[in-house]
Amino acid sequence: MADFTLDMAAVEQAVVDRAVDRFFDEHFDFGSTLKRAVESRFNALFAEKADAAITAAIDAALDDGFNREFTRVTPWGEKQGQPTTIRRELEFMLANFWQQKVDRQGKPSDGYNSVTRAEYQMIRIAGEDFIKNLESHLVGAAATFKDGLRNELRGRVDTMLAGLFHVKSGQDQAEGRYK
């Protein structure tokens, strides 16, 4: 009879390996879970990097477009004036827009009562605010006046009715008049 020895460490390892394999096969689809996680992370990183690259390219193109020098030309193609950029032209146009003289309706004017467009806008905004506040105060004052007038008239009518009729009505008794 041959001597039969069992390697207990190898048996234990085989049992553990088999149990783990069976557990993961039955309970987890580890491969597809890992694949989805990797794809999700890859997509997120790609989107982040792509967005940053696209934003940088757009910013550079806009900056280049606004700061590239050009010279105006006549309808015949002849250069006219000094080189400029779109940024400088926009700044010039905006400054002129706010400094332009306008009338009370905001239309361009060089008349006696004209103001700059910036002043016109500030006056309009302040005026609208003033009118709203004035209106709210007038409504409150009118309501107070109306309530006061109503109370005064009620008191006088009660006094006149008491002088005309010397009879205590049910309402007179309920309101405690003529004790």
Tens-of-pLDDT digits for all 179 residues of the chain? 556 677 778 778 887 788 777 776 666 666 677 778 888 888 888 888 888 889 888 988 888 888 888 888 888 988 888 888 888 888 888 888 888 888 888 888 888 888 888 888 888 888 888 888 888 888 888 899 899 889 889 888 888 877 777 677 778 778 777 66
- Residue 85, sorted as left (phi over 0), alpha (psi -120 to 50) or beta, turns out to be beta
**pTM of model > 0.75:** no
Q: Which residues contact 157 (CB under 8 A, 6 or more apart)?
A: none
DSSP conformational letter for 6: -
